Each structure stands twice: as structure tokens, then as C-alpha cells.
């Protein structure tokens, strides 16, 4: 399961700080000093308009407990409908009886409303006030609740970790368990490890002074000393820290290694099961290695094995290109090559089909998916990828143009020496594998960003500080507002888009960005090396 950090936000500003800090989901509230109340529609609308956050909105009409009369509950239902109609992705609520049991009637009604809008149903920390957590969670599962927020019936989640662990082990496959209260960068990862949960709720709270809080003999303070003149906010820096704490370099390295390992085994499998029985030629340096083995065994009386050829061809190219395409990327790509070579030697996979078209079809799709897997892991199968990336970074042209030219030359040699029918089948095989890659991996596509903003100078300065692409600025007049503004125009790689938009929104949260696919681009283009 993907690890999730949910940030508890009490304002639109909090939501922006959570968003720019790297959070993907928030619980949107008002009056956090009261434990969180229903937020305004304006806060929700602005958050949904200017971020891509998943927003779970609180529905709670007052402070204190969670035993609501009919008047209060009518307000809760109407609030839930309004919030869901205006973009809320889910509702957090909690309804109890006086004895601490779940109020089944009110809970059922709320769930029906939320589900009618395809929203997520979250039972918040009212759960920490129940008498029997096991009976209560079983009831919530039966009623259709998607997730509970709990501190394990303790003031701080760290003190309730044993109960949280028990609930996760017993019910985690039936309901999501989100732990909150006292969670931060120093304990979130350990809490996940100890309990087995994968979601943490944190306030990431900081303080901002308001000098008008206490004037003369009048005070509107709600925070304890030394924050009696402050109000609480979400800290972007603290969000960054807690997000980073659960996605460390070790995890990233492990994910890359697993992708490399699986892809290497898959590559050996495809070669032995589909490519060799059909006398096909794959793309890249692997294809060159297969061709060398065929030439040496046919014309020179010895066999220079495919596995050895893959290593001999890849190592020199990797050494020449690694500075321009990231040492990490190069090392993991070489590891993929060595592992694939090893698996070709030690593994013996049997063909599945006698039919050449079946081998071409299934082999092409499998080979493409293998390449996608290693690319998504931030590595590659080496060889022509090294060369193409090097040229792409230097010249600014698409990677696949160079790969296509190289593969065409190899296929011509193959066809002239071993028959054009198998070269033709190999073209079909490579076409299917390339199309598969194209369908699932779009890192190298270019897009045009058209940005409408009133803060063009600040955005351009921030943009060129972090990115080496050109950007144009044109003065314009808003057709509706009649206000002066600017249109910015830049061409970027698709994998950069979200980071660039986030950077620009830091400067101007009200900007408008239109993302347009770019079919062709002529002129200088800087492409950032893969890291």
C-alpha cells in the first residue's frame, strides 16, 4: 500500500501550505482550536480550484462532544450535501449516543448522503470516545464506513499504538485505519512500522503572531502561553519534513532495485520464450548482442553468447555517458544488464507457442512492459537508452528518434544476412513493444504551457532560477475582467509539468495554466538529466 500523509488544515492558507509541502490529501476544517468544525464553502472552493489535493471536509456543527440533537443533525446533513456538491472528495464526521456507542441512525443517514455523491466516508476521532473499540469498528465496517481516524482511545496516538496495531491486524483488510494526534516527522515512520498502518494524520502546526489579539483589557486569545497572541497555521516546512520522513532514499533505492530485478528476469524470459524460438531480433544493444551471437555461430565457428555481448556492449557506453545522464541512473541500468545476462545463463525457460505470430504479439507486449517497469523504476535496459539520453540532453530531440534509426540499421544487417522474412517479423515485434512503451510511459514527450497571470515578472524569475527552458511573455487584457495581465509561453518535458506548475502556483495561486501536447519542436531545448 502507498503511504499517505494527511494534513489537518483549518484554512485555505493551511491547504496551500500542505499542498506545497508535498501532501496529497487533507482534512479541511474550521476552528481547529475547538477540535475542528465545518469549513466554509469558500475555503473548499479555493482549495479545489488551486490545488490537486484530495479534500476530506469536516462536518461538525459545534465544539464539545458528538451527541447531536435533531436540529444540529439537520445542519450536518445540509452541510455535507453542500460540501460534496462543491468538490469535497469525502466527509469526516462522527455521531455518538450518550453512552458512547455509535449512533446508528445518524451514521446511516450520513453514509447514504456521502455515498450518493461517490464520496469517501470517514468516521473521525469521535471513535476515541466509544466504550468498546472492537464492537464499534465492526459496526462501522457493517454500515459501510471507508476509514476511521483514531489515536487508539488515548490523547496521543503514540500512547494508543498497541490498540491501533490490534485494530489494523484484525480489521485493516476491511477498513482503512488512519492514526492522528501527536504525529510528526520524528514518529510517523516508526508508528507505521510498529502498527502496520500506512496512513498518518498530522497537523504540522506552527504559530503566527497577531498583535491585535490582546489589546488593553480585551483579549481574544485561545492559545496557551507563550502563544497567547498567536494563531495556529500549517507549516509548509513541517509538511515537507513529515512527507520526506516516510519516503526516504532507502525506500526509493529498494523500489528501483526491485524494478530492475523483475525487469531483468522478465527480459531473460521473453528472450528465451518468444524471441529465440521465433528467430526474432529485439531492439537496442540486446538485439545487437543477439545478432553477434548469430553471426559468430553461423560464419566463424564459435558462439559469442548474447549474455556476454550485452555486458561487453553496454559497459563502455555507460562509462562514456554517465556524467550526462546521472550516475544513479547509469549504475542501476548497468545492474539491470548484468542481472539480465546472468538470468540468461542460469535460467532455462521453455517456449510457449509454435506459432510465430503468437510469439511476436505476446513477446512484443511483454518486452514493452518489461521496459516500462524498469523505466518507471528510474533505470533502463541500457545500451541505446544511454546513447539516446545523452544525445537528447545535448541536442534536445526526442529519445525515440535515435533509437528508431539505430534499430533500423541493425535490422537491415540482420535481414541481408539471415533473411528478410525474419527481419520483417522483427520489425513487427519491435513495433508492438515500442507501442506498448509509448502507451504506458510518457517521460520524454514535450508539452506547451500557456500561463495567464498578473505576476509575470515574479514567475519568470522563479522559473528561470530552477529551469533552463526559454519562456516568453506577452501583455494581454482579460476579456471578461478587462484587467491587464500577461500570457507566458514555454515548452517543457512532460515529466516536469507538475513541478513547474507547483513552482508557479507558489508565486501566484490564482494563475491559469493550459497544458497543450506539442507534436514538433524546432530550436534549442534543454532537457534535465534523469536523476
Q: For the segment 3-60, what is each residue's pLDDT rounded down to a tens digit?
A: 899 999 999 999 999 999 999 999 999 999 999 999 999 999 999 999 989 999 999 9
Q: Is 204 among the domain residues?
A: yes
Domain that holds residue 396: 251-440
Q: Is 524 among the domain residues?
A: no
Q: 486 - beta bridge partners?
A: 453, 475
Query: Is 8 in contact with 36 (CB distance < 8 Å)?
Result: yes
Q: 230 - beta bridge partners?
A: 209
User: Quick one: 340 and 451 in the same domain?
Assistant: no
**Which range has highest mean pLDDT (43-47, 213-217, 333-337, 344-348)?**
43-47
Of the chain, the end-to-end C-alpha distance in Å amounts to 24
User: Quick one: 116 and 83 in the same domain?
Assistant: yes
Q: Is 529 among the domain residues?
A: no
Helices (H), 172-305: 188-195, 236-246, 249-270, 284-299
What percent of the chain has pLDDT above 90?
56
The more confident residue out of 419 and 220 is 220
**Cα–Cα distance between 475 and 37 in angstroms, integer?**
43
Query: Is 447 in contact with 511 (CB distance < 8 Å)?
Result: no
> Of all helices (H) and strands (E), which one includes residue 69?
none
User: Quick one: 376 and 315 in the same domain?
Assistant: yes
Pairing mode, strands 147-150 and 472-477: unpaired
User: Quick one: 336 and 199 in the same domain?
Assistant: no
User: Quick one: 428 and 479 in the same domain?
Assistant: no
**Cα–Cα distance between 389 and 372 in angstroms, integer?**
16
User: Quick one: 257 and 243 in the same domain?
Assistant: no
Q: What is the pLDDT of residues 64-121, one digit of tens each?
A: 999 999 999 999 999 999 999 999 999 999 999 999 999 999 999 999 999 999 999 9
Pairing mode, strands 472-477 and 484-493: antiparallel
Integer CA distances (angstroms), 146 to 141, 172, 326, 468, in order: 8, 11, 42, 45
Q: Is 531 among the domain residues?
A: no
**Cα–Cα distance between 186 and 196 in angstroms, integer?**
17
The DSSP output letter for 39 is P
The total of structural domains in the chain comes to 3
Q: What is the pLDDT of residue 531?
A: 42
State the CATH number of the domain containing residue 33: 3.20.20.380
User: Quick one: 436 and 450 in the same domain?
Assistant: no
**Arithmetic mean of pLDDT, 388-401:** 54
User: Quick one: 435 and 452 in the same domain?
Assistant: no
Q: Is 487 among the domain residues?
A: yes
**Arithmetic mean of pLDDT, 497-506:** 78
Burial of 458 (0-12, 13-18, 19+ CB in 10 A): middle
Q: Which of these three, 232, 247, 262, is where a domain ends?
A: 247
Q: 489 - beta bridge partners?
A: 450, 472
Query: Is 510 in contact with 50 (CB distance < 8 Å)?
Result: yes
User: Quick one: 422 and 510 in the same domain?
Assistant: no
| Among the listed residues 470, 469, 433, 477, the one whose alpha carbon sits nearest the alpha carbon of residue 452 | 477
Which position has the grid cell 485494530? Answer: 167
∠ CA 447-451-452, nearest 5°, is 155
Q: Which of these three, 440, 456, 477, is where a domain ends?
A: 440
Pairing mode, strands 484-493 and 446-453: antiparallel
Q: What is the pLDDT of residues 113-144, one digit of tens each?
A: 999 999 999 999 999 999 999 999 999 999 99
The DSSP output letter for 215 is E
Q: 175-185 in b/e burial notation, b at 16+ Cβ within 10 A? A: bbbbbbbbbbb
Q: What is the pLDDT of residue 528?
A: 47
**Cα–Cα distance between 485 and 454 in angstroms, integer?**
5
Q: What is the pLDDT of residue 396?
A: 47
User: Quick one: 325 and 417 in the same domain?
Assistant: yes
**Arithmetic mean of pLDDT, 427-449:** 79
The more confident residue out of 27 and 518 is 27
Q: Is 525 among the domain residues?
A: no
Q: What is the pLDDT of residue 392?
A: 53
Q: Is 306 among the domain residues?
A: yes
* Residue 530: pLDDT over 70: no
User: Quick one: 365 and 325 in the same domain?
Assistant: yes
State the CATH number of the domain containing residue 498: 3.30.70.120
DSSP states of 321-350: HGGGS-HHHHHHHHHHHHHHHHHHHH--PP
User: Quick one: 202 and 326 in the same domain?
Assistant: no
Q: Confidence class of residue 388 from pLDDT cuts 50, 70 and 90?
A: low
**Cα–Cα distance between 122 and 25 in angstroms, integer?**
13
∠ CA 388-389-394, nearest 5°, is 100
Which position has the grid cell 504479439? Answer: 361
Q: Is 530 among the domain residues?
A: no
| DSSP SS3 for 255 | helix
Q: What is the pLDDT of residues 190-244, one digit of tens each?
A: 899 899 999 999 999 999 999 999 998 999 999 988 889 999 999 999 999 899 8
∠ CA 355-360-362, nearest 5°, is 95
Query: Is 240 in contact with 23 (CB distance < 8 Å)?
Result: no
**Arithmetic mean of pLDDT, 288-297:** 91
Q: At what angle do helices 284-299 and 399-418 cross, to 10 degrees?
A: 20
Q: Which of these three, 440, 457, 484, is where a domain ends?
A: 440
Query: Is 12 in contact with 29 (CB distance < 8 Å)?
Result: no
Amino acid at each position: 500500500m502507498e503511504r499517505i500523509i494527511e494534513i489537518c488544515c483549518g484554512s485555505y492558507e493551511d491547504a496551500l501550505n500542505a499542498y506545497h509541502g508535498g501532501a496529497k490529501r487533507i482534512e479541511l476544517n474550521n476552528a481547529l482550536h475547538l477540535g475542528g468544525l465545518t469549513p466554509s464553502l469558500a475555503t473548499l472552493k479555493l482549495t479545489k480550484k488551486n490545488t490537486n489535493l484530495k479534500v476530506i471536509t469536516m462536518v461538525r456543527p459545534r465544539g464539545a462532544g458528538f451527541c447531536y440533537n435533531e436540529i444540529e443533525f439537520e445542519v450536518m446533513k445540509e452541510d455535507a450535501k453542500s460540501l460534496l456538491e462543491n468538490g469535497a472528495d469525502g466527509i469526516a464526521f462522527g455521531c455518538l449516543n450518550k453512552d458512547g456507542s455509535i449512533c446508528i441512525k445518524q451514521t446511516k443517514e450520513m453514509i447514504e448522503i456521502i455515498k450518493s455523491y461517490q464520496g469517501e466516508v470517514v468516521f473521525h476521532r469521535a471513535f476515541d470516545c466509544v466504550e468498546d473499540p472492537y464492537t464499534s469498528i465492526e459496526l462501522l465496517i457493517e454500515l459501510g464506513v471507508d476509514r476511521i481516524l483514531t489515536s487508539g482511545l488515548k490523547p496521543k496516538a503514540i500512547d494508543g499504538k498497541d490498540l491501533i496495531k490490534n485494530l489494523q491486524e484484525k480489521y485493516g483488510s476491511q477498513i482503512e485505519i488512519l492514526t492522528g494526534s501527536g504525529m510528526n516527522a520524528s514518529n510517523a515512520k516508526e508508528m507505521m512500522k510498529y502498527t502496520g498502518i500506512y496512513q498518518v494524520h498530522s497537523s504540522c502546526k506552527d504559530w503566527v503572531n497577531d498583535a491585535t489579539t490582546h489589546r488593553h483589557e480585551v483579549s481574544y486569545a485561545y492559545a496557551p502561553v507563550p502563544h497567547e497572541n498567536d494563531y495556529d497555521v500549517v507549516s509548509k516546512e513541517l509538511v515537507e519534513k513529515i512527507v520526506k520522513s516516510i519516503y526516504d532514499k532507502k525506500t526509493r533505492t529498494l523500489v528501483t532495485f526491485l524494478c530492475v530485478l523483475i525487469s531483468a528476469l522478465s527480459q531473460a524470459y521473453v528472450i528465451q520464450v518468444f524471441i529465440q524460438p521465433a528467430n526474432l531480433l529485439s531492439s537496442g544493444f540486446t538485439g545487437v548482442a543477439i545478432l553477434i551471437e548469430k553471426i559468430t555461430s553461423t560464419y566463424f565457428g564459435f558462439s559469442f553468447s548474447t549474455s556476454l555481448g550485452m555486458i561487453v556492449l553496454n559497459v563502455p557506453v555507460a562509462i562514456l555517458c554517465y556524467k550526462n545522464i546521472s550516475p544513479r541512473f547509469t549504475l542501476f541500468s548497468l545492474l539491470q544488464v548484468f542481472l539480465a545476462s546472468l538470468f540468461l545463463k542460469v535460467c532455462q525457460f521453455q517456449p510457449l507457442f509454435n506459432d510465430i505470430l503468437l510469439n511476436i504479439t505476446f513477446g512484443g507486449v511483454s518486452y514493452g512492459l518489461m521496459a516500462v517497469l524498469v523505466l518507471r523504476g528510474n533505470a533502463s535496459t541500457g545500451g541505446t537508452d544511454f546513447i539516446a539520453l545523452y544525445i537528447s540532453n545535448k541536442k534536445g530531440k526526442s529519445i525515440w528518434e535515435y533509437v528508431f534509426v539505430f534499430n533500423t540499421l541493425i535490422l537491415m544487417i540482420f535481414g541481408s544476412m539471415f533473411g528478410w522474412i525474419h527481419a520483417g517479423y522483427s520489425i513487427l515485434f519491435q513495433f508492438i513493444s515500442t507501442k506498448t512503451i509509448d502507451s504506458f510511459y510518457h517521460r520524454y514527450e514535450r508539452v506547451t504551457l500557456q500561463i495567464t497571470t498578473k505576476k509575470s515578472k515574479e514567475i519568470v524569475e522563479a522559473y528561470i532560477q530552477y529551469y533552463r527552458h526559454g519562456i516568453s511573455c506577452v501583455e494581454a487584457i482579460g476579456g471578461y475582467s478587462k484587467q491587464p495581465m500577461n500570457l507566458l509561453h514555454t515548452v517543457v518535458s512532460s515529466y516536469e509539468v507538475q513541478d513547474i506548475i507547483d513552482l508557479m502556483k507558489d508565486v501566484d495561486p490564482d494563475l491559469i495554466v493550459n497544458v497543450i501536447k506539442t507534436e514538433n519542436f524546432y530550436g534549442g531545448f534543454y532537457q534535465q538529466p534523469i536523476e
